[in-house]
Amino acid sequence: MAPPSECPPCSDLLDRLHVVALPMRVRFRGITVREVALFDGPAGWGEFGAFGEYEPPEAAHWLASAIEAAYRESPAPLRDRIPVNATVPAVAPERVPEVLARFPGAQTAKVKVAEAGQTLADDVARVEAVRAVVPKVRVDANGGWSVAEAVAAAGALGELEYLEQPCATVEELAALRRRIDVPIAADESIRKAADPFRVVALGAADIAVVKVAPLGGVDPLLDIAARIGIPVVVSSALDSAVGMSRGLLAAACLPELPYACGLGTGGLFVEDVVDAVAPVDGLLPVGPVIPDPARLAALAAPADRRQWWIDRIRDCYPFVCR
């Protein structure tokens, strides 16, 4: 977390606060409206969007990321466009073309699987519908399978670029990796871990999925990427355009970018704080985002929800600025 000398007063954060509620096209992570807190800082706009189930010690990383964006100078990017994958929620197969239409030119799709209440047959049907349109498919189980279930899924889903977080624990990922040939990507096992490098020490992953906000900002992400020793995929945490710009910046600063990044989820929103930027040939531009004042007003969360975010910022602040 940031040393106190680099922290703005909490009162300054709250003076710069905008809380918005972004309607979504489909249910994702169990929600249909995405709330985020935005700060108009001296260095740019920052976003604090930790999901409601995260307690202050964990959510504080997201606040640190917002402070970094709003108050500190950003690193210089090495590229100006980033390849992004399409993101397909756990929708019925007949809805897949509608979802993929929001990702023009994407050559890779990430498909959500292992959704509560659904079966492996549902996952197979969704993946096959995606594969009929997009040549390269990866799937994300969010830790929803046991080792045995992941082995069965790897056999049933056909050729995959990788399985993202198929099982919940590092030990399960390591056991699974010994039993299948499909590459394994670790997400929660890195961003939620006290030791993000343990997945490599235990031989549990081939690829690291990293997200700016849960890791505390662009600089901490780049530090982990430089030291982790396996290829990195930068992904989003269902960010608004403000948060997404930080993910794109992080990806633009990496020396190598062997995989398409999961930074195209802006297409999941009906409305955002700026006009949506669709990928061109599967690529998104790198650059800062300045929200439209009219959209900030139109999308403002109700007063009770704004107060909820104010209380949350106050709860998280001591874990960032001690």
pLDDT band at 193 (very low <50, low <70, confident <90, very high): confident
**Whether pLDDT at 3 is above 60:** no
Stretch 296-304: mean pLDDT: 98
**Whether pLDDT at 188 is above 90:** no
pLDDT confidence of residue 4: 45
Is 229 exposed, middle or buried, given 0-12, 13-18 or 19+ CB atoms closer than 10 A? exposed
Q: Please report which helix (H) or strand (E) contains residue 223, including its range.
A: helix 218-228
Stretch 289-295: mean pLDDT: 98
Query: Is 272 annotated as ligand-binding?
Result: no
**Whether pLDDT at 295 is above 50:** yes
**CA-based angle 240:71:19, to the nearest 5?**
35
pLDDT confidence of residue 305: 98
In three-state secondary structure terms, 15 is helix
Query: Is 164 annotated as ligand-binding?
Result: yes
**Whether pLDDT at 190 is above 80:** yes
Q: pLDDT tens digit string along 120-176?
A: 999 999 999 999 999 999 999 999 999 999 999 999 999 999 999 999 999 999 999
Rounded Cα distance between 39 and 42, Å, is: 10
Is 40 exposed, middle or buried, given 0-12, 13-18 or 19+ CB atoms closer than 10 A? middle
For residue 31, list its beta bridge partners.
28
For residue 262, list its beta bridge partners.
235
Q: pLDDT tens digit string along 47-66?
A: 999 999 999 999 999 999 99
- Sequence-distant (6+) residues with CB within 8 A of 300 are 18, 19, 20, 21, 306
pLDDT band at 194 (very low <50, low <70, confident <90, very high): confident
10-74+293-320 CATH: 3.30.390.10
**Whether pLDDT at 1 is above 80:** no
Q: Please report which helix (H) or strand (E) contains residue 164, including its range.
A: strand 163-164
Query: Is 123 annotated as ligand-binding?
Result: no
Q: pLDDT tens digit string along 83-100?
A: 999 999 999 999 999 999
End-to-end CA distance of the chain: 9
Mean pLDDT of the chain: 95
- Whole-number percent of the chain with pLDDT over 90: 88
- Residues 81-285: name the CATH superfamily: Enolase-like C-terminal domain (3.20.20.120)
pLDDT confidence of residue 276: 87
Give the residue extent of every domain in the chain. 10-74+293-320, 81-285
For residue 184, list its beta bridge partners.
163
Q: Quick check: 62 and 213 in contact, CB under 8 A?
A: yes
- Sequence-distant (6+) residues with CB within 8 A of 178 are none
pLDDT confidence of residue 228: 95
Q: Please report which helix (H) or strand (E) contains residue 170, including its range.
A: helix 170-177
Q: Quick check: 261 and 282 in contact, CB under 8 A?
A: no
Q: pLDDT tens digit string along 247-260?
A: 999 999 999 999 99
Question: Which of 191, 189, 192, 210 shows the shortest CA–CA distance to 200?
Answer: 189
Stretch 215-234: mean pLDDT: 96
pLDDT band at 2 (very low <50, low <70, confident <90, very high): low
**Whether pLDDT at 5 is above 60:** no
**Whether pLDDT at 40 is above 70:** yes
What is the biggest distance separating any 2 CA atoms in the chain, rounded to whole angstroms?
Answer: 54
211 catalytic per annotation:
yes
**Whether pLDDT at 265 is above 80:** yes
Stretch 106-111: mean pLDDT: 95
110 catalytic per annotation:
no
Annotated catalytic residue within 110, 112, 136, 192: 112
Annotated catalytic residue within 110, 136, 192, 211: 211
**Whether pLDDT at 28 is above 90:** no
